[in-house]
Amino acid sequence: MADRDKWFCYLHLGDPHAPIDIPDEHRDTFDVPQIDGVADWRYREKTDIDDAYRDARIRAYDAAIRGVNDALAGLLADLDDDTIIVICGDHGEAFWEHPTLERELNDGPRGYYATDHGHSVLEEVARVPLWVRAPNIKWDRYEYPVSLVDVAPTVLQALGADVPDGVAGRSIEDQSPDRALLCEELAYGYNQRAVWRGDRKAIAVPENDTVLAFSLDEYLEEEPLEAVPVDLEDALTSFGTGVEGADRMAVGAETRDRLEELGYLE
């Protein structure tokens, strides 16, 4: 980057992804104990887990995230104010928050419930950080949800470029608390669709005709509302029937090994 006037860098830091990379310096910061299997998942199919393992697993995750923060701090310190920077997560992790609710919403082929990711659109998985610093962009801390589909329009605006027709999302400057947002889950088990409007959320499972709505006053979903509000029903309808899978593609042995290591192939 140092020898270029214009450049683009995509940096994917997978340290918090299982198996977790726990930095030695932050093992002490977060007091991560030496417990067998703490870098990966145990008790995937169970709800009666060992409390010591649960606590250690969360501490290990926090330590890995702090390590990512350290890595980014070093990079950001060397970038000037004209550099467009977007930092985001692609998914969160479940730490046994909703074992019963996940079983109601899904019949996962792996039998995993309330851990990991890939089979849920609940808040612990769907809510991720999004941080933008860019010239010509006025930013704020929003107390209501925005979407990762807003990244591309935001970057285009910062570059002074037009946003092509058909691009989903809107600039981070052009947000609204009553905007409907969509998240879809297509990895393992039933397809699930979640929509948000402000501090309420609905989850639809077309395979079993389940639609549940929640208030997010306490951050995570608690007991479902007695009925799905009309505005959330309208939001679900407005997004159509969802995406369709593409044709299968061939992958080489190295790619297959890496996907197996990350848990995407078994």
Q: Where are the domains of the chain?
A: 80-262
Q: What is the pLDDT of residues 50-100, one digit of tens each?
A: 888 889 999 999 999 999 999 999 889 988 888 999 999 999 999 989 999
| Burial bucket for residue 83 (CB in 10 Å: 0-12, 13-18, 19+) | middle
For position 261, what pLDDT does the model report? 81
pLDDT at res. 112: 84
| Res 125 pLDDT > 90 | yes
Cα separation of 51 and 241, whole Å?
A: 41
Instruction: Report residue 169 as tokens.
Output: 């999302």
Please name the amino acid found at residue 184: E
Average pLDDT over residues 116-129: 92
Single-letter amino acid, residue 12: H
Give residue 50's pLDDT: 81
Radius of gyration of the CA atoms of the chain, in A:
20
Asked whether residue 185 carries a pLDDT value surpassing 60, the answer given is yes
- Give yes or no for residue 108 having a pLDDT over 70: yes
